[in-house]
Structure formats: C-alpha cells, structure tokens
C-alpha cells in the first residue's frame, strides 16, 4: 500500500512498514492541498497538526483511501463520523502515550507548586530572587481532582497517590471496578471542584463550551492549581487569566491552548503559568509505542 505520514512517525516503525513492502511517503500538506493529496494513498497517518475534515474526505472520494490513523489518543482533528460514513476507517493509538502525558501533567504540578518555571527563567536572566520563590507548597497531603478518568487520568492518579496525594475523579463514564482496583473514588463535578487543591483535565474536547469556565472556577478552592494537558478548548483562557490575576487560581500548568501555536501571550507569559508547547506525548518511549501500534493497525487490515 501507499502510506502518507503527514506529521512524522518513529523511524523504526517507518522502516518496518517499508520492509513489509509498503511505500511510505513522509510529507506535510497544507489544508488546501491535503484533499487532493489523499487521493494518491491507501492510508494516511496524522498526529495533531494535520486536520482531516469533511471537504478533504469529499476530495478523496472514489480513491483508494481506506484508513486514517491518528498517532495519539484524541481524534477530534478528524471528522470521524463523516469519514466512516464514506467507507474510510479511522483508528487511533490510545495506549501508547498515556504514561507520557500523565508524567507531563505531574511535572506541571511540581512546577506550579515550587515556582520551577518562573524561577528558572529568572536565573537565566541573571536574577537571583530566592525570597520571591520561597513560598512553595508540597503535593503530599493535597487533594488532586482528575476530570476525565480514562487511561491518562488513571496513570496520573496512581502516580499522585504514590507521592501521598488524595485523589478523586469525575468522568461521565463510570468504568466498572476501577474505584476498587485503583482506590480512587468517583465524585460529582461540584464535589471535585470544592475539594481539590489541584485539578487536572484529561477529557476529550467537548461540545457546548469549556469544561473549566468562570462559573466552575468560582466553585473551586481559593488558591487552586489547574493543569491542562488534554485539549486547549477545555479551559476558558479568559476566565483562567482573570482568576490568575485575582489570585483565585494560584497557578496553572498548560501544555495545550485554544489556538496552536499559542497566541494568548498574556496567559502563557503569566508568571504563575508553567507552559509547554503541546509536548505531552513527545517522549522517545511514547513515539516508539505509537509507531508500533500504527504498524499493528496496518498489519491487521
């Protein structure tokens, strides 16, 4: 088969696909060129940069395209239902990057608790301001509320418990037996908002507005820390910035943004924001696992 890889893939996985006799083309296409390009391939592999929307699928109709693979968890950059209605399968790699994203969220929690991001930036500007960063907090004994308790949320919960945090979770889907297996109770959203010292979001993008908005921030503890490594639209950036300015929110750790590359400089440059450029899944280990899952998906065709 002819396989298009638009946003990069582990080199070992690409070599394995080629060894199996497939032709692998690594090429990014701008949106206006993508639909036409898809007509020349059987499979397309995307990450988060490439968006496969209904107009692209329309252009690809009648061609050999039969599979779109999202190397990662979320598939909100693909019009899944429309693709499948037109005979194109959509698959993702839900297991491969969960640990990496969870560790990224935990790293942001530490950074927010101990001023690691802003203190490091100050030192690189030859500013030794020990006093300004001497009021850190410990994670041990704090309550972590996880919104979206799938694979990533569960990984984070286990790690947080290991360092002595109390962990509670909210999810619209209740996985049978998971509370007993992990020792992490499900609670309603309002209870999570009221009890949590740290709140970490691990839900897919949702219709109907941000999961974290001004109304829900108002229900949180004063001095709460908010972490988002899921989708940028899950947090109302204007509401978050206002809460940071007022002190309602102590700090925020952000790996994802409403617009990417990020455009809200007032937010990502705020001294109490620990920010990274959507690198939650960007570890060597995760990329290898993603590549291996992609190979397995294509083998199974």
Instruction: Give Cα separations from 48 to 70, 105, 145 (angstroms).
Output: 8, 18, 26
Q: How far apart are CA 39 and CA 62, in angstroms?
A: 8
Question: Tokens at residue 273, please?
Answer: 């924001």
Per-residue pLDDT of the chain (301 residues; tens, 9 = 90+): 999 999 999 999 999 999 999 999 999 999 999 999 999 999 999 998 999 999 999 999 999 999 999 998 888 899 999 999 999 999 999 889 999 999 999 999 999 999 999 999 999 999 999 999 999 999 999 999 999 999 999 999 999 999 999 999 999 988 888 888 999 999 999 999 999 999 999 998 887 789 999 999 999 999 999 999 999 999 999 999 999 999 999 999 999 999 999 999 999 999 999 999 999 999 999 999 999 999 999 999 8
What pLDDT score does 178 carry?
86
What does the pLDDT read at residue 118?
Answer: 95
Read off the DSSP letter of residue 72.
Answer: S
pTM above 0.85, yes or no: yes
Residue 57, SS3? helix
Q: Taking the CA atoms of the chain, what radius of gyration do you get in angstroms? A: 21
- pLDDT at res. 207: 78
Active site residues: 231, 260, 278
Looking at residue 17, its pLDDT comes to 97
What is residue 48's predicted lDDT score, i.e. its pLDDT?
Answer: 86
Residue closest to 221 by CA, chosen among 243, 254, 241, 188: 243
What are the angstrom distances between the C-alpha of 7 and each of 2, 103, 191, 233, 248?
16, 23, 40, 22, 39
């Amino acid at each position: 088969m002819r396989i298009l890889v638009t946003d990069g893939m582990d080199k070992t996985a690409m070599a394995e696909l080629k060894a199996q006799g497939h032709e692998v083309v690594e090429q990014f296409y701008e949106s206006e060129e993508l639909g036409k390009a898809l007509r020349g391939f059987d499979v397309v592999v995307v990450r988060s940069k490439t968006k496969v929307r209904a107009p692209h699928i329309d252009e690809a109709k009648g061609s050999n395209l039969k599979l779109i693979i999202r190397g990662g968890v979320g598939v909100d950059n693909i019009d899944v239902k429309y693709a499948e209605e037109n005979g194109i399968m959509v698959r993702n790699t839900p297991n491969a990057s969960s640990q990496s994203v969870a560790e990224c969220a935990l790293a942001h929690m530490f950074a927010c608790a101990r001023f690691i991001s802003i203190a490091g930036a100050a030192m690189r500007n030859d500013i030794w301001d020990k006093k300004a960063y001497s009021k850190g907090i410990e994670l041990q004994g704090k309550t972590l509320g996880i919104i979206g308790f799938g694979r990533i949320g569960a990984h984070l919960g286990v790690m947080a418990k290991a360092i002595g945090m109390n962990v509670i979770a909210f999810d619209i889907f209740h996985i049978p037996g998971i509370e007993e297996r992990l020792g992490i109770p499900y609670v309603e959203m309002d209870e999570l908002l009221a009890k949590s010292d740290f709140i970490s979001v691990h839900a897919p993008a949702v219709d109907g507005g941000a999961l974290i908005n001004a109304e829900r921030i108002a229900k949180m503890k004063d001095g709460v820390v908010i972490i988002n490594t899921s989708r940028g639209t899950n947090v109302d950036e204007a509401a978050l910035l206002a809460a940071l300015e007022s002190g309602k929110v102590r700090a925020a750790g952000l790996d994802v943004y409403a617009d990417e590359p990020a455009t809200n400089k007032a937010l990502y440059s705020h001294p109490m924001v620990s920010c990274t450029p959507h690198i939650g899944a960007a570890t060597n280990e995760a990329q290898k696992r993603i590549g291996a899952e992609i190979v397995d998906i294509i083998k199974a065709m």
